[in-house]
Structure 1
């Protein structure tokens, strides 16, 4: 067997991390022959809870999980990491304005970015989950100048999976028969779920989703808004956020980042823009369709973008630019 890889989960006492740990530990993400040393980071008041989590991880008795380290210290948590899954963030509380939320999270991800820069391997792969995920990820990039910015991604795979599921439910097919949906932009209510390039397997052939659904009004209306508002709908029904589906999406995202995407398929992932793709300004952390090979993502190029899509993409771009400007004021970056 290869040597263990070191994987960090932050916010490790929370419900998303709790739902995530088995998938990380049992070989679903990194492979059935890849041992793992798992590092769990949370704030000091949660260390008692983490003790119980460590007990449960031990009781899983999965052979790939070699060591579990629970800590409240960044210098311990970020040392020699191969993968960092940054789940923990400041949640939005009642009466809190978005600017206050951004300020709180800028401080968290500035500190964690600096810790990555100081302690982690320069090859570390980073997945930012904590919201606002795109801007938190950009903050971490700016705080870790010695690590390639291409090593940082944020999670929009949950939205991608939600979009696939809505199409599959509509057509009464398995979700794995729906391919190449796209989530453009921010992981927020402005995101644009785009199926104009998506296909579904029907009769052994790939059929455009628009041809299979035959309801343009729904695809440009109710479908998009359902995906945009799905997280809020889950909270309204469950009184808790989307932990199970978020954990599955983190596993999907990390597995593809580590092992690559299937030939002919792309996934949605928040990555840094170089200013040359689809009119998105330089230096925005934006969700694009990407393919991945050798642990390196590449934005899918050459897709035709119609006026409807352009309008939707512009809205989410504007929001991300405003978030970036606010965050950079707190970071004191010009």
Structure 2
């Protein structure tokens, strides 16, 4: 067996982490032969709940789990970790705007960035799940200047998974038969779920998703709004935000980053280099491929006039969020 890797999950006593921790400890993320040592971070008042989670992990009798460190101290939690799942954030409640979240969360991610800068490995791979994820990732990176910017990512894989399942259901194929659907921009209601480059296997034939669906008005309206508003729909039904699906998406994101995405494109919020006319130095979701622990933006895609408007709108929101977050940091 390989040497254990240290992995941190923040907000470890919360809903998403409750599903995520099992996936990490069972081998679904880092592979079936990679032992893990879990660092679980939450706030001091949640330590009792976290103790219950630690008991349950013991009771799972997981062969790959070599140890668990529950803590409320960021510098203990981030010490020597190779991967960080930043799940803990002020949760969004029904009727809340994202802007309400921003001020509370900027302070959390500033503190965590500073702790990582001091004690984490410089090659740590950071996935921000807590919303507003793109801007939280940007702030975290800003306060961890010794760690490369490309090591900070935001989760849009949940949106990609939602989009993929919507298209598969519409066409009537298993979800794995659809690939290369893209989420552009922000993990918010301005995101652009884009099926124009997606392909689907029907029977033994691979075809373009737009040709298979043959309904542009659906792809440019209902499909997009369903994915954009899926999180709100889950909150309305469950009275809580997406947890099981968010945990699965976090696992998918980190697994592909570590182990490679193969011949599929995956959507990740990464620091923009200005590709596709997007604003630079915001965390923007692009289609990427991953190999050898590195991501690379898929280049050369045609952007229609409709897509251009969508990319510009989500880019504008991200630029505004970034400015608001930087203003909060000055306080």
Determine if the TM-score, normalized by the shorter chain, exceeds 0.5: yes
1:3-42 aligned at under 5 Å gives the runs: 3-42=3-42
Report deviation, 1:114. 0.6
Residue of structure 2 equivalent to 1:144: 144
Instruction: Compute the TM-score of the two structures, normalised by the length of structure 2.
Output: 0.98
Question: Does 2:194 correspond to 1:194?
Answer: yes
CA-to-aligned-CA distance 1:7-42 (integer Å, 9 cap, x gap):
000000101000111111111110111000001000
1:208-287 aligned at under 5 Å gives the runs: 208-263=208-263, 265-275=264-274, 277-287=275-285
Q: Does the 8 A contact of 2:81 with 2:121 survive in 1?
A: yes
Residue of structure 2 equivalent to 1:126: 126
Q: Does the 8 A contact of 2:98 with 2:132 survive in 1?
A: no
Which deviates further from its counterpart, 31-40 or 201-210?
201-210
Q: What is the Cα-based RMSD across aligned positions, in Å?
A: 1.3
Q: Classify the secondary structure of the residue corresponding to 2:118.
A: helix
Structure 2 Cα separation of the partners of residues 238 and 247 of structure 1? 16
Report deviation, 1:97. 5.9
1:30-179 aligned at under 5 Å gives the runs: 30-92=30-92, 98-179=98-179
Residue of structure 1 equivalent to 2:302: 304
Structure 1 Cα separation of the partners of residues 301 and 330 of structure 2? 36
Q: Does the 8 A contact of 2:185 with 2:286 survive in 1?
A: yes
Report deviation, 1:169. 0.6
Q: 5+ unaligned residues in a row in structure 1: which ranges?
A: none
Residue of structure 1 equivalent to 2:323: 325
Structure 1 Cα separation of the partners of residues 292 and 224 of structure 2? 32
Report deviation, 1:100. 4.2
CA-to-aligned-CA distance 1:275-319 (integer Å, 9 cap, x gap):
2x1001110100000000110000000000000000111111111
CA-to-aligned-CA distance 1:51-74 (integer Å, 9 cap, x gap):
000000001101000001100011
Structure 1 Cα separation of the partners of residues 330 and 75 of structure 2? 24
Instruction: Compute the TM-score of the two structures, normalised by the length of structure 1.
Output: 0.97
Q: 5+ unaligned residues in a row in structure 2: which ranges?
A: none
Aligned residues: 331
Aligned pair in 2 of structure 1 residues 230, 95: CA closer, same or farther (>3 Å)? closer
Structure 1 Cα separation of the partners of residues 314 and 186 of structure 2? 6
Q: Classify the secondary structure of the residue corresponding to 1:58.
A: helix
Q: Does the 8 A contact of 2:164 with 2:175 survive in 1?
A: yes
Q: Classify the secondary structure of the residue corresponding to 2:229.
A: helix
Which deviates further from its counterpart, 91-100 or 293-302?
91-100
Report deviation, 1:93. 5.2
Structure 1 Cα separation of the partners of residues 312 and 206 of structure 2? 30
Report deviation, 1:331. 2.2
Structure 1 Cα separation of the partners of residues 220 and 179 of structure 2? 18
Aligned pair in 2 of structure 1 residues 99, 198: CA closer, same or farther (>3 Å)? closer
Residue of structure 1 equivalent to 2:181: 181
